[in-house]
Amino acid sequence: MVVNVTGVRGSIASSNLVTFATGLAIGIPLIPQVRRQLSRYMPFDAASPADMIGLCTLLATAVYFFGSSLRSGADQDISAVNSLDLVSQAVALIVIAYFGVGFLMTRRFKDATDRLGLHAITARQLGRAVALVAGLFAVTIVSGILTYYLEPNLDKQIQNNLQNMTADVSSISGALLLGISAGAGEEILFRGAIQPRYGIVFTSLVFASLHIQYGISLTVLGIFFVSILLGLERQRVNTTASMVTHVIYDVLAVIFGSL
Protein backbone atom coordinates (compact mmCIF):
# COMPACT_ATOMS: atom_id res chain seq x y z
CA MET A 1 0.00 0.00 0.00
CA VAL A 2 1.24 3.50 -0.80
CA VAL A 3 2.58 5.53 2.09
CA ASN A 4 3.22 9.28 2.17
CA VAL A 5 5.57 10.02 5.06
CA THR A 6 5.80 13.74 5.69
CA GLY A 7 8.07 13.40 8.70
CA VAL A 8 9.75 10.78 10.83
CA ARG A 9 10.45 11.58 14.44
CA GLY A 10 13.65 10.55 16.14
CA SER A 11 16.95 11.85 17.50
CA ILE A 12 19.83 13.00 15.33
CA ALA A 13 21.98 10.21 16.77
CA SER A 14 19.50 7.52 15.77
CA SER A 15 19.17 9.11 12.33
CA ASN A 16 22.93 8.94 11.89
CA LEU A 17 22.86 5.30 12.96
CA VAL A 18 20.27 4.50 10.30
CA THR A 19 22.38 6.29 7.70
CA PHE A 20 25.48 4.34 8.75
CA ALA A 21 23.61 1.02 8.66
CA THR A 22 22.25 1.84 5.20
CA GLY A 23 25.73 2.62 3.93
CA LEU A 24 26.98 -0.63 5.40
CA ALA A 25 24.17 -2.50 3.66
CA ILE A 26 25.25 -1.02 0.34
CA GLY A 27 28.86 -2.05 0.89
CA ILE A 28 28.51 -5.57 2.25
CA PRO A 29 27.25 -7.16 -1.01
CA LEU A 30 30.31 -5.73 -2.79
CA ILE A 31 32.43 -8.35 -1.00
CA PRO A 32 32.67 -11.41 -3.28
CA GLN A 33 32.81 -13.88 -0.39
CA VAL A 34 29.57 -12.46 1.04
CA ARG A 35 27.80 -12.74 -2.31
CA ARG A 36 28.98 -16.33 -2.74
CA GLN A 37 27.62 -17.27 0.68
CA LEU A 38 24.28 -15.53 0.04
CA SER A 39 23.97 -17.16 -3.38
CA ARG A 40 23.83 -20.53 -1.61
CA TYR A 41 20.42 -19.51 -0.26
CA MET A 42 19.19 -17.15 -2.99
CA PRO A 43 19.01 -17.87 -6.74
CA PHE A 44 21.11 -14.89 -7.93
CA ASP A 45 24.43 -15.11 -9.75
CA ALA A 46 27.24 -14.10 -7.37
CA ALA A 47 29.47 -13.19 -10.34
CA SER A 48 26.88 -10.98 -12.06
CA PRO A 49 27.44 -7.19 -11.68
CA ALA A 50 23.71 -6.60 -12.31
CA ASP A 51 22.72 -9.01 -9.54
CA MET A 52 25.28 -7.40 -7.23
CA ILE A 53 23.86 -3.92 -7.84
CA GLY A 54 20.34 -5.23 -7.29
CA LEU A 55 21.34 -6.87 -4.03
CA CYS A 56 23.04 -3.69 -2.79
CA THR A 57 19.97 -1.62 -3.65
CA LEU A 58 17.45 -3.99 -2.09
CA LEU A 59 19.45 -4.58 1.09
CA ALA A 60 20.06 -0.87 1.58
CA THR A 61 16.38 -0.09 0.99
CA ALA A 62 15.26 -2.71 3.50
CA VAL A 63 17.76 -1.54 6.15
CA TYR A 64 16.85 2.11 5.68
CA PHE A 65 13.10 1.61 6.03
CA PHE A 66 13.46 -0.95 8.83
CA GLY A 67 15.81 1.40 10.68
CA SER A 68 13.43 4.33 10.22
CA SER A 69 10.55 2.25 11.61
CA LEU A 70 12.68 1.01 14.51
CA ARG A 71 13.69 4.59 15.30
CA SER A 72 10.17 5.98 15.42
CA GLY A 73 7.84 2.98 15.70
CA ALA A 74 4.48 3.86 14.19
CA ASP A 75 4.82 7.43 15.47
CA GLN A 76 5.16 8.98 12.02
CA ASP A 77 3.29 11.60 10.05
CA ILE A 78 1.36 9.60 7.44
CA SER A 79 -0.57 11.76 4.99
CA ALA A 80 -3.52 10.69 2.84
CA VAL A 81 -2.90 9.22 -0.58
CA ASN A 82 -4.82 10.44 -3.62
CA SER A 83 -5.53 9.14 -7.09
CA LEU A 84 -2.43 10.74 -8.57
CA ASP A 85 -0.23 9.16 -5.87
CA LEU A 86 -1.69 5.74 -6.60
CA VAL A 87 -1.38 5.90 -10.36
CA SER A 88 2.10 7.43 -10.33
CA GLN A 89 3.40 4.84 -7.88
CA ALA A 90 1.95 1.96 -9.89
CA VAL A 91 3.46 3.28 -13.11
CA ALA A 92 6.82 3.87 -11.43
CA LEU A 93 6.97 0.35 -9.94
CA ILE A 94 6.03 -1.27 -13.24
CA VAL A 95 8.59 0.78 -15.18
CA ILE A 96 11.29 -0.12 -12.62
CA ALA A 97 10.31 -3.79 -12.92
CA TYR A 98 10.52 -3.82 -16.72
CA PHE A 99 13.84 -2.02 -16.92
CA GLY A 100 15.10 -4.10 -13.99
CA VAL A 101 14.71 -7.29 -16.02
CA GLY A 102 16.48 -5.81 -19.04
CA PHE A 103 13.74 -4.27 -21.18
CA LEU A 104 15.32 -2.37 -24.12
CA MET A 105 18.74 -3.66 -23.05
CA THR A 106 18.73 -7.45 -23.26
CA ARG A 107 15.02 -8.18 -23.67
CA ARG A 108 12.20 -7.07 -25.92
CA PHE A 109 8.85 -6.16 -24.35
CA LYS A 110 7.41 -9.64 -24.90
CA ASP A 111 10.47 -11.32 -23.40
CA ALA A 112 10.47 -8.94 -20.42
CA THR A 113 6.77 -9.60 -19.85
CA ASP A 114 7.46 -13.33 -19.91
CA ARG A 115 10.36 -12.90 -17.45
CA LEU A 116 8.04 -10.99 -15.11
CA GLY A 117 5.65 -13.95 -15.06
CA LEU A 118 2.75 -12.07 -16.61
CA HIS A 119 0.81 -14.86 -18.32
CA ALA A 120 -2.83 -15.74 -18.81
CA ILE A 121 -4.38 -17.90 -16.11
CA THR A 122 -7.03 -20.57 -16.36
CA ALA A 123 -10.44 -20.40 -14.71
CA ARG A 124 -9.25 -22.93 -12.13
CA GLN A 125 -6.17 -20.85 -11.33
CA LEU A 126 -8.36 -17.75 -11.06
CA GLY A 127 -10.56 -19.55 -8.56
CA ARG A 128 -7.55 -20.50 -6.48
CA ALA A 129 -6.25 -16.93 -6.62
CA VAL A 130 -9.57 -15.66 -5.28
CA ALA A 131 -9.65 -18.38 -2.60
CA LEU A 132 -6.17 -17.40 -1.39
CA VAL A 133 -7.56 -13.99 -0.42
CA ALA A 134 -9.10 -15.73 2.60
CA GLY A 135 -5.66 -17.00 3.57
CA LEU A 136 -4.20 -13.49 3.43
CA PHE A 137 -6.99 -12.17 5.62
CA ALA A 138 -6.47 -15.02 8.08
CA VAL A 139 -2.82 -14.08 8.47
CA THR A 140 -3.47 -10.35 8.86
CA ILE A 141 -6.37 -10.89 11.28
CA VAL A 142 -4.22 -13.08 13.53
CA SER A 143 -1.31 -10.61 13.44
CA GLY A 144 -3.73 -7.74 14.04
CA ILE A 145 -5.27 -9.46 17.07
CA LEU A 146 -1.83 -10.19 18.52
CA THR A 147 -0.82 -6.55 18.01
CA TYR A 148 -4.06 -5.37 19.62
CA TYR A 149 -3.50 -7.41 22.79
CA LEU A 150 0.29 -7.39 23.06
CA GLU A 151 1.03 -3.89 21.70
CA PRO A 152 -2.17 -1.89 22.36
CA ASN A 153 -0.59 1.57 22.15
CA LEU A 154 1.15 0.73 18.92
CA ASP A 155 -2.05 -0.77 17.56
CA LYS A 156 -3.90 2.52 18.12
CA GLN A 157 -1.22 4.44 16.24
CA ILE A 158 -1.30 1.92 13.39
CA GLN A 159 -5.05 2.29 13.06
CA ASN A 160 -4.69 6.08 13.00
CA ASN A 161 -2.02 5.78 10.30
CA LEU A 162 -4.25 3.56 8.17
CA GLN A 163 -7.23 5.90 8.57
CA ASN A 164 -5.11 8.91 7.62
CA MET A 165 -3.59 7.10 4.65
CA THR A 166 -6.89 5.89 3.15
CA ALA A 167 -9.03 8.91 4.04
CA ASP A 168 -9.31 10.02 0.40
CA VAL A 169 -9.79 6.53 -1.08
CA SER A 170 -12.37 5.02 1.28
CA SER A 171 -15.10 4.93 -1.38
CA ILE A 172 -15.70 1.90 -3.59
CA SER A 173 -14.01 3.59 -6.57
CA GLY A 174 -11.11 4.69 -4.37
CA ALA A 175 -10.70 1.19 -2.98
CA LEU A 176 -10.67 -0.23 -6.51
CA LEU A 177 -8.06 2.28 -7.63
CA LEU A 178 -5.88 1.60 -4.59
CA GLY A 179 -6.22 -2.16 -4.94
CA ILE A 180 -5.43 -2.22 -8.65
CA SER A 181 -2.52 0.21 -8.43
CA ALA A 182 -0.89 -1.32 -5.35
CA GLY A 183 -1.62 -4.90 -6.34
CA ALA A 184 -0.38 -4.52 -9.90
CA GLY A 185 2.65 -2.36 -9.16
CA GLU A 186 3.89 -4.26 -6.13
CA GLU A 187 3.35 -7.72 -7.58
CA ILE A 188 5.02 -6.96 -10.91
CA LEU A 189 8.04 -5.50 -9.10
CA PHE A 190 8.41 -7.78 -6.08
CA ARG A 191 7.02 -11.11 -7.24
CA GLY A 192 7.68 -10.59 -10.95
CA ALA A 193 11.10 -8.94 -11.08
CA ILE A 194 12.79 -9.42 -7.69
CA GLN A 195 11.67 -12.82 -6.42
CA PRO A 196 13.07 -14.99 -9.25
CA ARG A 197 16.55 -13.55 -8.58
CA TYR A 198 16.57 -13.22 -4.81
CA GLY A 199 14.08 -15.77 -3.53
CA ILE A 200 10.81 -15.66 -1.65
CA VAL A 201 12.17 -15.00 1.85
CA PHE A 202 14.50 -12.10 1.01
CA THR A 203 11.89 -10.52 -1.26
CA SER A 204 9.33 -10.78 1.54
CA LEU A 205 11.73 -9.16 4.02
CA VAL A 206 12.19 -6.19 1.69
CA PHE A 207 8.45 -6.05 1.00
CA ALA A 208 7.57 -6.04 4.71
CA SER A 209 10.21 -3.42 5.53
CA LEU A 210 8.57 -0.93 3.16
CA HIS A 211 5.27 -1.00 5.04
CA ILE A 212 6.46 1.59 7.55
CA GLN A 213 2.91 2.66 8.45
CA TYR A 214 2.86 -0.40 10.74
CA GLY A 215 6.06 0.47 12.60
CA ILE A 216 7.96 -2.47 14.10
CA SER A 217 5.03 -4.59 15.16
CA LEU A 218 3.50 -8.03 14.89
CA THR A 219 1.39 -6.58 12.10
CA VAL A 220 4.56 -6.27 10.00
CA LEU A 221 5.27 -9.93 10.73
CA GLY A 222 1.83 -10.63 9.27
CA ILE A 223 2.74 -8.62 6.15
CA PHE A 224 5.87 -10.77 5.82
CA PHE A 225 3.83 -13.98 5.85
CA VAL A 226 1.30 -12.46 3.42
CA SER A 227 4.23 -11.84 1.09
CA ILE A 228 5.38 -15.45 1.56
CA LEU A 229 1.95 -16.70 0.46
CA LEU A 230 1.95 -14.39 -2.56
CA GLY A 231 5.47 -15.55 -3.36
CA LEU A 232 4.45 -19.19 -3.29
CA GLU A 233 1.53 -18.38 -5.57
CA ARG A 234 3.85 -16.64 -8.00
CA GLN A 235 6.23 -19.60 -7.88
CA ARG A 236 3.57 -22.24 -8.45
CA VAL A 237 1.35 -20.32 -10.90
CA ASN A 238 2.56 -16.91 -12.11
CA THR A 239 2.64 -13.22 -11.28
CA THR A 240 -0.78 -12.64 -12.83
CA ALA A 241 -2.34 -14.96 -10.23
CA SER A 242 -0.57 -13.28 -7.30
CA MET A 243 -1.63 -9.91 -8.71
CA VAL A 244 -5.29 -10.97 -8.76
CA THR A 245 -5.06 -12.13 -5.14
CA HIS A 246 -3.31 -8.94 -4.03
CA VAL A 247 -5.76 -6.63 -5.81
CA ILE A 248 -8.83 -8.32 -4.33
CA TYR A 249 -7.26 -8.38 -0.87
CA ASP A 250 -6.41 -4.66 -0.93
CA VAL A 251 -9.82 -3.64 -2.27
CA LEU A 252 -11.65 -5.60 0.43
CA ALA A 253 -9.25 -4.40 3.14
CA VAL A 254 -9.94 -0.75 2.31
CA ILE A 255 -13.70 -1.32 2.14
CA PHE A 256 -13.79 -3.23 5.43
CA GLY A 257 -11.56 -0.62 7.04
CA SER A 258 -13.89 2.21 5.99
CA LEU A 259 -16.82 0.37 7.54
pLDDT one-digit tens code per residue, 102-128: 999 999 999 999 999 999 999 999 999
How far is it, in rounded angstroms, from Cα 130 to Cα 43? 29
- Give the chain's domain count: 1
Give the start-end residues of each E strand in the chain: 4-8, 76-79
Query: What residue type is 168 in one-letter code?
Result: D
Entry pTM: 0.90
117: nearest Cα among 235, 206, 248, 224: 235
Q: Which residues span the domain enclosing 86?
A: 4-258
252: nearest Cα among 158, 147, 164, 138: 138
pLDDT digits (tens, 9 = 90+) for 212-239: 766 677 888 999 999 999 999 999 999 9
pLDDT digits (tens, 9 = 90+) for 128-145: 999 999 999 999 999 999
Query: How many CB atoms lie under 10 A from the CB of residue 153?
Result: 10
Cα–Cα distances (Å) from 182 to 53, 80, 240, 247, in that order, read 25, 15, 14, 7
215: nearest Cα among 168, 147, 164: 147
